[in-house]
Amino acid sequence: MFVYLLDAFAGPASPFMYALLALLALALAVSVERIWSFRQYRLAIEPLMEAVDRAARSGELTSLKLGERPVERVVAAGLAETDAELAWDAMTAAVVGAELTIRRRVGYLSTVASVATMVGLFGTVYGLILAFGAMGDVAAAARAAQLSEGSATAMATTAFGLFVAIPALLLHAVIDAQARELLGEIEQAANRVVLALRRRDRAGTSG
């Protein structure tokens, strides 16, 4: 089958095949980039929260140096407030921006799946037009060649369109689920920041 698909890159199906190949490359690039980014974001959460806990115990929360990862921006928004309730409101607002960062380009995968299906269907229709064109007043040898070429174009573009669309849909489902999990972990981190602030305030009051 793969040899059959490779041969289609040199025939009338080539514009559709190269378009589908570009869509496949886009889906893979987005998937690799998002999975790698999610891993980096997730690895930053626990060390950050340990640093917040230590700083809260020592009364040095304002001295924490935070980066630009989503969880760090959310925590920074909370630590910029002195009151725990205001900190929660600030982090709730910051989570909106964090979600935009986390979900960036994830929607491309579902779009790739839809577009790949449509490109494959377009190629199928084009191949059928070629095949039906062979029914006209042409020589028998030319008729057989055109009929074969049209059928091959239709089948190859259909198969390759599905070959691109199905993995793109699966990758979208997996990465979207990872994004939801990561947002849940960031919300847990925000809860821990509020708890740290309340413990600091309680220690200051009792002191």
Q: Give 156's Cβ-side CA count (13 Å radius).
A: 28
Please tell me what DSSP assigns to residue 104.
Answer: T
What span, in angstroms and rounded, lies between the C-alpha atoms of 176 and 197? 32
Between helices 140-206 and 84-102, what is the axis angle to 10°? 170
State residue 95's pLDDT score.
93
More confidently predicted of 132 and 128: 128
Domain range for 95 is 2-206
State residue 206's pLDDT score.
54
Residue 202 has pLDDT above 80, yes or no: no
For 52, other C-beta atoms within 10 Å of its C-beta total 22
State residue 146's pLDDT score.
73
Q: Which of 114-123, 132-141, 143-152, 156-165 has the lowest mean pLDDT?
A: 132-141
Q: Which of 16-20, 127-131, 138-142, 165-169 has the lowest mean pLDDT?
A: 138-142
State residue 51's pLDDT score.
85
More confidently predicted of 181 and 8: 181
State residue 38's pLDDT score.
95
Between helices 107-133 and 14-58, what is the axis angle to 10°? 170
pLDDT in tens, 28-54: 999 999 999 999 999 988 888 888 888
Residue 16 has pLDDT above 90, yes or no: yes
State residue 195's pLDDT score.
86
Per DSSP, which regions of the chain are E strands?
none
Average pLDDT estimate for 126-132? 84
Q: What's the total number of domains in the chain?
A: 1
Q: Choose among 108, 85, 98: nearest CA to 37.
A: 98
How high is the mean pLDDT of the chain?
Answer: 87
> What is the amino acid identity at position 54?
R
* 39 SS3 class: helix
* pTM reported for the whole predicted model: 0.84
CA atoms 80, 86, 87, 91: torsion sign: negative
Under the banding of pLDDT at 50, 70 and 90, the label for residue 113 is very high
Q: Give 45's Cβ-side CA count (13 Å radius).
A: 20
